[in-house]
Structure 1
Amino acid sequence: MSTPFYVSPQQAMADRAEYARKGIARGRSVVVLTYTDGILFVAENTSRALHKVSEIYDKIAFAAVGRYNEFENLRIGGVRYADLRGYSYDRADVTARGLANVYAQTLGTIFSSVGEKPYEVELIVAEVGRTDDDDQIYRLTPDGSVVDEKNSVVVGGNADSIGNYLGQRHRAGMSLVEALRVAVDALARDPNGGSPRVLTPEQLEVAVLDRQRPQQRKFKRVLGGQLARLLSGDETAADDAAPEAAPEAADGPSDGAAGAATGEDGTEPAGE
């Protein structure tokens, strides 16, 4: 009788982590950073139907890179969790930390399961507070680890290079125009040291959690002419109200955290 092939648990976990990491790296990056009035989300995304950034609840937003169908399952689960908890208890009981814990349990269970592959996703869950000191940003990795981030974070693509750039140029108290310019410049950089690309409004997906918004829902997308004016440096454009979107249903048409266009294997194509 032949001896069964043996792989140590440490090696098996390392192989699964490497598999997930390679899938995530093929996606274009998402940048999240704070500014004086809230939290800004910027993603390279040419699709107006498949979003990388989505609203989860009143003050909570979700961003992700990786496989679209896996994003969407997690987004839908997050919306259902938030709706159920807010209805059963109180809307104030729905927090980014609670949602991050739920996602961590789900991702950790899938990652350690022998019967299925790990999710090829990396998530960001953010909540805007009454002041900038109350803002919360959590990054979740495929193995279910949760990292409490401060000020700025990037996932997918050239995350290390973009993260270093943001760390050097992001500062507290930036206006929306300043934060947007830093985020776009970071996404446009060539990691090999070449000339930066020029990213147009049509290539970007931008949203904010705006603490100054009088509505209970603090999430809004920055679209069209308003985005173009912000990119040109027009500070007054930050006060323009973006068109209200209907709340993103848990089981309606997809408005979840998706890539610009998915490849044949369901993974985002690599960036330029």
Structure 2
Amino acid sequence: MTTPFYVSPAQAMQDRAEFARKGIARGRSLVVLQYADGIVFVGENPSRALHKFSEIYDRIAFAAAGKYNEYENLRIGGVRYADLRGYTYHREDVTARGLANVYAQTLGTIFSSQAEKPYEVELVVAEVGATPDGDQIYRLPHDGSIVDEHGSVAVGGNAEQLSTFLDQRHRDGMSLAEALKLAVEALSNQPNGSDREIPAERLEVAVLDRTRPQQRKFKRIVGRQLARLLDADGAASAPTDAPSDSVEETEEGEESGEQ
């Protein structure tokens, strides 16, 4: 009779964590930044159908890097949780903190289970407040831990290098144009130190804008409005509610994208 192959629990968890981290690192990076009027999400995404960023509820948005099919399931679950809680109690009872706790429990359970592989995803859940002090940004790695972020956060790809770059350059009170340009500059920065140009049509940009009169604060920035913001001198951002620009609104957390 042969002796069963033994792997210590610590080694098994380490191997699962390494597997998940490698899967997440293969995807394209995305960054989330606070600016004066809200929170902006920026990522390189050549797909027009698969989105990295999505609306979850009135003031809450979701961003993800990693395997699309896995975090799409999480996005759908988050929308259902938010809708049910808002309908059962009150819309103000739906918070980013509560949603992050739900995601943390789900990811933690999957990560510790030996019956299935860990999810190769890293999430960001953000909520815009009435003032900048009320903004909330939570990063959730593959193991279900929760990291409370402020100012800027990067996930996927070379996230560690991006985080260092953003920490050195981000400041409170930036305009939307300034924050957007900083995000694009960070994404253009290569691990070898060189820079590459990312055309506007390959960028996915969305915001949670606290100044919007609507209850829903999430919207996408595309087309001429995105080009105008990228060309702005940074002193003042263009009005983000201009109807003449191609601003695509989403319903109930439109699908977030991979890569």
Q: State the match for 1:252 in structure 2.
A: none
Contact between 1:65 and 1:257, CA under 8 Å: does it hold in 2? no
- Does the 8 Å CA contact 2:219/2:250 hold for their aligned counterparts? no
TM-score normalized by the length of structure 2: 0.95
Alpha-carbon offset, residue 238 of structure 1: 3.3
Structure 2 counterpart of 1:75: 75
Partners of 1:5 and 1:53 lie apart in 2 by 43
Residues 137 and 149 in structure 1, CA contact (< 8 A), matched pair in contact too: yes
Structure 1 gaps, min length 5: 250-254, 260-267
Amino acid at match of 2:73: N
Structure 2 partner of 1:204: 203
> How much does 1:4 deviate?
1.0
**2:239 alignment counterpart:** 238
**Counterpart for residue 255 of structure 2:** 256
CA contact (8 A) 2:175 2:237 kept: no
Runs of 4+ in 1 over 2 A off after TM superposition: 234-246
State the shift of 1:47 in Å. 1.1
Give, in angstroms, the shift of residue 226 of structure 1. Answer: 0.1
Any stretches of 5+ residues in structure 2 without a counterpart? none
Q: Tell me, yes or no, if the aligned pair for 1:122 and 1:155 is still in contact at 8 Å.
A: yes
Tell me, in whole angstroms, the C-alpha distance in 2 between the residues paired with 1:187 and 1:243. Answer: 23
- In structure 2, the CA distance between the partners of 1:175 and 1:236, relative to structure 1 (3 Å rule), is closer
SS of residue matched to 2:238: helix
1:7 aligned onto 2:7: yes
**1: CA distance, partners of 2:240 / 2:118:** 42
- Aligned counterparts of 1:236 and 1:18: Cα–Cα separation in 2: 41
The within-5 A match list for 1:1-272 is 1-194=1-194, 196-233=195-232, 235=236, 237-241=238-242, 243=247, 245-248=249-252, 255-259=254-258, 268=259
Judge conservation of contact 1:64–1:121 (CA < 8 Å) in 2: yes
* Structure 1 CA distance for aligned equivalents of residues 240 and 68 of structure 2: 32
Task: Determine if contact 1:75/1:257 at 8 Å carries over to the other structure.
Answer: yes
What is the alpha-carbon distance in structure 2 between the residues aligned to residue 203 and residue 239 of structure 1? Answer: 20
- Matching residue's letter, 1:70: E
Distance 1:173 1:258 in 2: 29
CA distance in 1 between counterparts of 2:177 and 2:78 reads 30
- Write the letter of the residue equivalent to 2:18: E
- Among the aligned pairs, what percent are the same residue? 71
RMSD, matched Cα: 1.2
- Alignment length, in residue pairs? 254
One-letter identity of the residue aligned with 2:191:
P
Question: Match of 1:167, as an amino acid?
Answer: D
